[in-house]
């Protein structure tokens, strides 16, 4: 059971902390989430 929980935790961390942050998203105009966030913060700051 402990192995199952560790595997589940490790998989969640990989997907949420690594994969989803590097993967480009079509809904974000083919940018990574971090690039999109930076661009929007710059836009909001200049408004």
pLDDT at res. 25: 87
- The residues, any chain, with a CB within 8 Å of residue 47's CB and separated by 6 or more, are none
Burial 7-25 (b: 16+ CB within 10 A, else e): eeeeeeeeeeeeeeeeeee
Domain count, the chain: 1
For 39, the domain range is: 2-46
Q: Mind listing the pLDDT tens digit for each residue in 1-47?
A: 799 999 999 999 998 888 888 889 899 999 998 899 899 987 777 76
């Amino acid at each position: 059971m402990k192995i199952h929980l560790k595997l589940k935790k490790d998989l969640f961390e990989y997907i949420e902390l690594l994969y989803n942050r590097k993967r480009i998203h079509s809904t974000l105009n083919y940018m990574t989430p971090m690039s999109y966030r930076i661009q929007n913060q710059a836009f909001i700051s200049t408004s």
